[in-house]
Structure 1
Amino acid sequence: MTGSTTARNIGLLIGRIGIGAIFLAHGLQKVQNGQEAMSSGFESMGVPLPAVSAFLVTWLEVLGGIALIVGALVPVVGALFVIVMAGAYFSTHADNGLWVSDGGYELVLALGAASLILAVVGSGRFGVDGLLGGKLPFGKKKAAVAA
C-alpha cells in the first residue's frame, strides 16, 4: 500500500509541476506581450471586461503556475484554472473544433481537466500543502494521498 501511495504522490508532483509550468509560461507570454495587447485580444474575442479579464488571467497564470509548481493552495488554484479554462472554451475555442492547430479546444480541455483533478485531489505529499498537512482547511480531506 505504501508503494502505491508514494507512486500516487510522485505522479501528482510530476503532473502538478508540468501543468504549473504550462500555465506559468502562458502567463509570462502574456506579460511579455503587454496588458494593452492582451486587453485588445480579449476584446476582439468578446471576453467581458477585457482589460480586467486580461489582467486577472495573466497574473493568475503567473502566480497560479508558480503555486502549482511548489504545491501551494492547489485546490483553490486548480478550481480557479477550471473557471479560466471554461471561459477560454466558451469565449474562444468551442466553435473551432477539437484540434489546437485549428484554434480548437484540445489544450483548453486538457488543462481544464488536469486543473479539475488537482482541485479535487490536491497537491499530494510533495508540496507546500502536503507539508502543512491538516493545517489548511482543505488538507484534512486528502486521505487518498496521505503518507
Structure 2
Amino acid sequence: MRRWLYDIAALIARLIVGVIFMAHGLQKIKAGGVGPTAAGFAEMGIPMPQVAAGFTMAVELVGGALLILGLVTPLAALLLAVVCAAAAIFVHARNGIFISDGGFELVGGLGSAVLLLAAGGAGRFSLDHLIFGRRRERRRREADEVTPGAWYGGAERQGEGRADDGDPAHFADLADESERPAGGVGSERRAEGGDTAHLADQADETERGGPPKAAPGSLGDWPATARQTSTGRHAAPPAPDEPGGRRSEGESGSR
C-alpha cells in the first residue's frame, strides 16, 4: 500500500515540478535567450554569467521534460537541485524567505522536491520503471531461482545425498553424525571409560547397593595378577590346576 502511495505521489510531484522548471526555461528563451539571461545574472552577482545562463536554461528545459517523463530521474533531479542551490546561495538567501521579497521560498521548495525524487526514484508510473525496473525484477527472479548450494560452491542436497566439503551443509552432516549412535539409529549408546555417562552409571549402581561397574580399561578389568594389594605388592598368581584336578608336581600344599 505504501509503495502505491509513493508511486502516485511521485507522479504528481514530477508532473508539477517538471512543468514549473520548463516554464522558467521557456521564459528565459522568450526574454532573448542566453545573452539577456547572462546580463541579468551578472547584475545579480552570479559568477561566470554566460556559462551559468546556458547551463541553467538547458537544465530547466531538458531536466523538466525528463522529470515529466520519468526518464533518468535521479540524474535530472540532481542537476535541477544544483540550479536551485546556486540560485538560493547567490541571489535569494540574503532576501529572506518570502518570494515577494525575493527570498528563497520558491527555489527552496523546488529544490527539496527534486532532492526527494533523486533519492526515492520516479516511481512505477515512469519510463525508468518501464525500461530499467522490469530488468531489475527479472534479474531478481533469476537470482531467487538459483539453488542455495550454488552460492557456496557445494553440491545441492537432494534426498539422502551428502553435501560436499565446500558446502556449509557438510558441517551440519558432521554434527548429525556425531550425535547419532555408533551402532546406527535406534541402538543404545554405551558409556565408555572417561565419559560422563559412565560416571553416571557408576553412581546409579552405588545408589542401588551394588558395586560400581569397572570402566573399560580401568583396574577392574585387569587380571588378578596385576592388581595391587593393600600393602602395595602384587598378589601371586594362583597355581594352575592339572587336567585331573591335581596340582602339578613340585608345588607344595602350603602354596
Q: CA deviation at 1:125?
A: 0.6
Q: CA deviation at 1:22?
A: 0.4
Q: CA deviation at 1:46?
A: 1.3
Q: Which has the higher contact order (CA 8 A, sep 6+)?
A: 1
Q: Which runs of 5+ in 2 are unaligned?
A: 138-255
- SS in structure 1 opposite 2:132? helix
> Normalising by the residue count of structure 1, what TM-score does the alignment of the two structures yield?
0.87
- Structure 1 letter corresponding to 2:63: G
Percentage of identical aligned residues: 42
Segments ≥4 residues shifted beyond 2 Å? 133-136
Q: Which runs of 5+ in 1 are unaligned?
A: 141-147
Q: Cα 1:135–1:4, aligned 2, differ >3 Å: closer, same or farther?
A: closer
**Aligned runs of 1:38-77 on 2, under 5 Å?**
38-77=37-76
Deviations 1:114-146 (A, max 9, x none): 01001101111111111113489xx78xxxxxx
- Structure 1 letter corresponding to 2:24: H
- Taking the aligned partners of 1:10 and 1:30, their CA distance within structure 2 comes to 31
Deviations 1:20-51 (A, max 9, x none): 00000001101111221101001111111101
Equivalent of residue 14 in structure 1, options 7, 12, 15:
12
- Structure 1 letter corresponding to 2:74: P
Aligned length, in residue pairs: 136
Residue 24 of structure 1: aligned partner? 22
Residue 143 of structure 2: aligned partner? none
- Structure 2 letter corresponding to 1:130: H
- CA RMSD, 1 decimal: 1.6
- Taking the aligned partners of 1:60 and 1:81, their CA distance within structure 2 comes to 6
- Structure 2 letter corresponding to 1:12: A
Greater C-alpha Rg: 2
- Taking the aligned partners of 1:89 and 1:17, their CA distance within structure 2 comes to 23
> Normalising by the residue count of structure 2, what TM-score does the alignment of the two structures yield?
0.51
- Taking the aligned partners of 2:40 and 2:134, their CA distance within structure 1 comes to 41
- SS in structure 1 opposite 2:63? helix
